[in-house]
């Protein structure tokens, strides 16, 4: 194998391992506020080996998982890869089966209410094209980055868009959620192909435009898409100018740009909140900063609090595609060997396990998490 192919494979693996590491690194303080993180950890600098339980509030202890155990962010990324690598390839009915069986067999953990609502609708027999919840949250963007590594070739563009957009709309039927997910996957694909940071930034609005056009096609095919006229290409064209501003200025710009589109219930336009133009855009821009150091970038995100694992997962998948795997301490992942196998499948294209094996393993890990929380 030549050096170019090795570098590409390294970046492909990075797209999944970076996602998984961002996920597990952010899990210990998921939903915490900035001042709460500081009061317990001071300057949060790494995944703790053990939790300082004596200083963690009781309400926070109930949500802790074993350090290094991935959440639904990585779960769903692996699930998507399992479907896409199976003999049928991407198939919306196989995705529905994965989601529903995972739900019935209690494999999913830490999932959001919009995901739950959509999967329950599918379990009741609702067609996958119309089951999605009306959410512009990050639940699709957090899982799709590795698809950009799997389908990174220019001639695979249609396959990438269809798998990303259909899998996204199945659970998050707001056009902004699906289009932003396609932008994340597009950024990963570009970095895997060897694009520079500057080239990737300039491409983000184009990825949105391509996804917007494809969403129009999917609507004609019967997919439910809400807010399909609220395009993201324009906001992204503006946002890419912020990538190298001082980080606090960048975060303030993100908050101000998102505020007019916030739904009722958002108390703050915080850059780590679970809306694609808040947390999603924050993770994407942080991963594109000129001076970005992967480890410090993730820590900077996590120290801000709120949806720490998901924003870090989005940033991590892009950083992994940009920088490869050397920065990822994969020995800290509880399920290192299995996740590593999926990372290698991004270039071998060999399905690592069956759907049944996937669900059984994730169910086992979910039970371990629940047992940990009960102690």
Domain assignment of residue 119, given as a range: 3-373
Is the Cβ–Cβ distance between 238 and 257 less than 8 Å? yes
Angle 199-204-205 (CA atoms, 0-180°, nearest 5)?
A: 120
What is the total count of domains within the chain? 1
DSSP states along 309-366: HHHHHHHHHHHHHHH-STT--GGG-TTHHHHHHHHHHHHH----S-HHHHHHHHHHHH
Which tokens in the block code for residue 168? 């996204």
Is 174 annotated as belonging to a binding site? Answer: no
Q: Which residues, in sequence order, are bridge partners of residue 334?
A: none
DSSP states along 256-310: HHHGGGPPTT-----TTSSSIIIIIHHHHHHHT-TT--HHHHHHHHHTTBSSHHH
Is 244 annotated as belonging to a binding site? Answer: no
Q: Which residues, in sequence order, are bridge partners of residue 305?
A: 33
Is 309 annotated as belonging to a binding site? Answer: yes
Is 72 annotated as belonging to a binding site? Answer: yes
DSSP states along 172-196: B-BHHHHHHHHHHHHHHHHHHHT--
Please report, for the domain that includes residue 211, its CATH number.
1.10.4080.10
The angle that helices 113-123 and 157-171 make with each other, rounded to 10 degrees, is 90
Which tokens in the block code for residue 31? 């939903």
Is 307 annotated as belonging to a binding site? Answer: yes
Handedness of CA 282, 286, 288, 294 (dihedral sign): negative
- What is the per-residue pLDDT for 262? 87
Residue that is written with structure tokens 């996804």 in the block: 211
Cα separation, 235 vs 318, whole angstroms: 19
Cα separation, 314 vs 19, whole angstroms: 6
Is 293 annotated as belonging to a binding site? Answer: no
Handedness of CA 298, 299, 303, 307 (dihedral sign): positive
User: Taking Cα atoms as reference points, which of 7, 54, 49, 3 lies closest to residue 28?
Assistant: 49
Q: Which residues, in sequence order, are bridge partners of residue 172?
A: 133
- What is the per-residue pLDDT for 1? 66
* Whole-structure pTM value: 0.98
Each residue's pLDDT expressed in tens, for the chain with a length of 375 residues: 677 899 999 999 999 999 999 999 999 999 999 999 999 999 999 999 999 999 999 999 989 999 999 999 999 999 999 999 999 899 999 999 999 999 999 999 999 999 999 999 999 999 999 999 999 999 999 999 999 999 999 999 999 999 999 999 999 999 999 999 999 999 999 999 999 999 999 999 999 999 999 999 999 999 999 998 888 999 999 999 999 999 999 999 999 999 998 877 766 899 999 999 999 999 999 999 998 999 999 999 999 999 999 999 999 999 999 999 999 999 999 999 999 999 999 999 999 999 999 999 999 999 999 999 987
Is the Cβ–Cβ distance between 240 and 257 less than 8 Å? no
């Amino acid at each position: 194998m030549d050096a170019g192919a090795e570098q590409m494979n390294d970046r492909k693996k990075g797209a999944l391992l970076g996602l998984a590491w961002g996920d597990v690194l952010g899990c210990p303080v998921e939903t915490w506020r900035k001042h709460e993180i500081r009061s317990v950890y001071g300057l949060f600098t790494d995944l703790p080996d053990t939790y300082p339980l004596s200083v963690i509030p009781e309400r926070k202890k109930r949500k802790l998982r074993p350090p290094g155990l991935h959440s639904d962010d990585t779960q769903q990324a692996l699930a998507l890869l399992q479907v896409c690598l199976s003999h049928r390839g991407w198939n919306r009915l196989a995705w529905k089966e994965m989601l529903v069986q995972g739900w019935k067999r209690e494999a999913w953990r830490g999932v959001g209410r919009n995901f739950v609502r959509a999967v329950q609708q599918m379990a009741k027999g609702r067609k996958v094209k119309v089951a999605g919840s009306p959410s512009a949250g990050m639940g699709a963007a957090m899982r799709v980055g590795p698809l950009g590594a799997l389908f990174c070739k220019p001639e695979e563009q249609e396959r990438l868009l269809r798998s990303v957009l259909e899998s996204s709309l199945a659970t998050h039927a707001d056009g902004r959620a699906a289009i932003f997910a396609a932008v994340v996957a597009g950024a990963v694909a570009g970095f895997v192909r060897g694009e520079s940071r500057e080239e990737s930034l300039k491409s983000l609005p184009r990825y949105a435009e391509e996804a917007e056009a494809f969403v129009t096609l999917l609507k004609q095919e019967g997919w439910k898409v809400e807010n399909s006229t609220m395009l993201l290409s324009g906001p992204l064209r503006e946002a890419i100018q912020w990538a190298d501003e001082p980080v606090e200025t960048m975060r303030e710009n993100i908050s101000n740009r998102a505020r007019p589109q916030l739904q009722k219930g958002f108390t703050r336009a915080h850059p780590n909140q679970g809306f694609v133009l808040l947390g999603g855009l924050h993770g994407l821009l942080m991963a594109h900063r000129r001076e970005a150091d992967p480890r410090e970038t993730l820590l900077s995100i996590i120290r801000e609090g709120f949806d720490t694992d998901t924003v870090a997962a989005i940033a991590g998948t892009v950083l992994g595609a940009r920088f490869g795997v050397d920065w990822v301490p994969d020995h800290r992942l509880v399920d290192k060997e299995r996740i590593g196998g999926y990372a290698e499948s991004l270039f071998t294209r060999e399905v690592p396990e069956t759907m049944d094996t996937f669900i059984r393993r994730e169910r086992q890990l979910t039970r371990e998490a629940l047992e940990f929380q009960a102690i």
